[in-house]
């Protein structure tokens, strides 16, 4: 059996989930840069940062990697896929990564493809801001920073002074800001594998972006997710594919270099069941990745290799039919100022990587090992716990039960993940 050397870029919970998915195929020899304790247990970590494009190129050459899988968005926006040249890369070139790197570019691409999205204005001068705010008065203002912001570059507010201050800061930082109409409805996320030969939509999931229960408090990188999302009915799914994914695939395939990777479609579903695009990302969401990767079964390597080589249309593997729910454990003070360096009790690195139908497991993110091998917190989002079973309720029960075995001083998590999908949380009653 010939081994396939895979270089995985990143160090978060998403990358641990990708590592677990890839190594279900025994052909995979996994190398992660820089990785975390979870990925180290599944392969070899290398001390090369995800932002170090030159270092990653050198590492890919040294390893003679058969495939490079890029987890975070920043190296894609910085041109890692371009620089890799002929080496197979799961992740788009910089020209396409701008769909996430620039909100204004994304809006222009949506218009070019004819996909439904919120009415909007791109403001590049402070003097034009007042007119733009007037245009969308009467509903909450939606202000989007034009650049990468780690999932926290959006403000939704009814306070005009707050909206103006945020927008002015965004213009000063990035040179432009997107102001758009507020879209009422329910959010969902769809991850779409895409290359020149076609696309494949993974089951829709729903993220929980706010830090507090009942969607209270500020935005975060994501406090939990579940899949499938009932709001995306078969009828809604058909609309998403015909009105959004299909047109975007045609638009991207018509460019000089086709899109090769995953396109994250952030959706708003209105009361009539009509979908609108809220945002595009050019990588797997975190924690959406944790609730979708297990559905690939043992075939993640085949899927990702096919996409990197414009051969997705030839893949005949099916997807597992299961329900998954993940809960994020965050450090005290997150998302404003996380307290780190505290020991995590109940976390066994080897055990955490074991996954399977009808059980729960841990994906590590802001975790490192001290000199004694004790896991300690090193970031805002420390880890996520995922349950997988035949129903969302069973998956939730598994995830929360596993989470209860862990202890981190001052840590917090949401106790209502999946509530919109009917998941019951007795501890809230």
19 and 143 together in one domain:
no
Looking at residue 362, its pLDDT comes to 95
- Return the higher-pLDDT residue of 319 and 354: 319
Confidence of residue 290 (pLDDT cuts 50, 70, 90): very high
210 and 349 together in one domain:
yes
What's the mean pLDDT in 248-277?
A: 97
Looking at residue 349, its pLDDT comes to 75
Q: Is residue 317 part of a domain?
A: yes
Q: Which of 366, 370, 335, 262 is nearest to 18 (CA)?
A: 262
132 and 220 together in one domain:
no
Distances (CA, A) of 62 to 5, 11, 56, 71, 187: 11, 20, 10, 20, 43
Cα separation, 61 vs 305, in Å, equals 17
pTM as predicted = 0.95
pLDDT at 252 over 90: yes
Cα separation, 29 vs 57, in Å, equals 18
Q: What are phi and psi of 57, to 5 degrees?
A: -60, -45
Confidence of residue 427 (pLDDT cuts 50, 70, 90): confident
Three-state DSSP at 6 gives strand
pLDDT at 4 over 70: yes
Burial 400-412 (b: 16+ CB within 10 A, else e): bebbeebebeebb
252 and 320 together in one domain:
yes
Domain range for 61: 4-91
Average pLDDT across the chain, whole number: 94
Counting Cα atoms < 13 Å in the Cβ hemisphere of 400 gives 20
Cα separation, 392 vs 398, in Å, equals 10
Inter-residue contact 76 to 97 (CB < 8 Å): yes
Q: Is residue 102 part of a domain?
A: no
408 and 301 together in one domain:
yes
Confidence of residue 420 (pLDDT cuts 50, 70, 90): very high
- Return the higher-pLDDT residue of 150 and 388: 388
Inter-residue contact 363 to 222 (CB < 8 Å): no
What lies within 8 Å, CB to CB, of 78 at 6+ separation is: 51, 53, 94
User: What's 25's domain CATH number?
Assistant: 3.40.50.20
State pLDDT tens for residues 87-144. Answer: 999 999 999 999 999 999 999 999 999 999 999 999 898 888 889 898 988 889 899 9
Q: Which of 49, 36, 34, 12 is nearest to 375 (CA)?
A: 36
What lies within 8 Å, CB to CB, of 287 at 6+ separation is: 13, 14, 207, 222, 223, 224, 225, 326, 328, 384
């Amino acid at each position: 059996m010939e081994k396939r050397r895979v270089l995985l870029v990143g160090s978060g919970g998403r990358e641990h989930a990708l590592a677990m998915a890839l190594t279900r195929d025994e052909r995979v020899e996994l190398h992660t840069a820089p990785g975390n304790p979870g990925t180290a247990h599944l392969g070899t970590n290398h001390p090369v940062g995800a932002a170090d494009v030159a270092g990653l190129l050198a590492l890919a050459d040294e390893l003679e990697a058969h495939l490079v899988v890029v987890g975070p968005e920043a190296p894609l926006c910085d041109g890692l896929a371009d620089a890799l040249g002929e080496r197979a890369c799961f992740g788009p070139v910089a020209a396409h990564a701008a769909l996430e790197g620039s909100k204004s570019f994304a809006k222009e691409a949506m218009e070019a493809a004819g996909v439904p999205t919120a009415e909007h204005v791109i403001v590049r001068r402070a003097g034009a801001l007042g007119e733009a705010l007037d245009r969308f008065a009467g509903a909450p203002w939606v202000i989007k920073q034009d650049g990468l912001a780690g999932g926290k570059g959006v403000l939704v507010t009814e306070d005009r002074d707050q909206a103006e201050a945020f927008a002015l800061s965004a213009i000063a930082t990035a040179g432009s800001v997107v102001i758009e109409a507020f879209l009422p409805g329910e959010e969902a996320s769809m991850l779409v594998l895409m290359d020149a030969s076609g696309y494949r939509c993974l089951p829709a999931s729903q993220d929980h972006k706010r830090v507090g229960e009942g969607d209270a408090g500020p935005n975060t990188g994501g406090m939990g997710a579940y899949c499938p999302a009932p709001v995306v009915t078969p009828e809604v799914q058909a609309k998403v594919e015909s009105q959004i994914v299909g047109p975007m695939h045609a638009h991207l395939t018509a460019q000089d270099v086709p899109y090769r990777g995953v396109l994250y479609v952030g959706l708003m579903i209105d009361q009539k069941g009509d979908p609108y695009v809220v945002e595009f990302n050019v990588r797997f969401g975190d924690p959406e990745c944790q609730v979708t990767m297990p559905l690939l079964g043992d075939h993640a390597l085949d899927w990702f290799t096919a996409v990197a080589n414009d051969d997705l249309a030839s893949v005949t593997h099916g997807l597992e039919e299961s329900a998954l729910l993940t809960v994020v454990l965050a450090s005290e003070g997150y998302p404003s100022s996380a307290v780190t360096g505290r020991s995590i009790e109940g976390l066994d690195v080897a055990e955490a990587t074991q996954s399977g139908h009808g059980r729960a497991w841990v994906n590590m993110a802001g975790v490192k090992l001290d000199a004694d091998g004790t896991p300690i917190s090193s970031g805002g989002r420390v880890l996520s716990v995922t349950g997988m079973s035949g129903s969302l309720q069973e998956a939730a029960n598994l995830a929360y039960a596993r989470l209860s075995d862990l202890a981190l001083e001052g840590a917090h998590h949401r106790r209502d993940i999946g509530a919109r999908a009917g998941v019951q949380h007795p501890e809230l009653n």
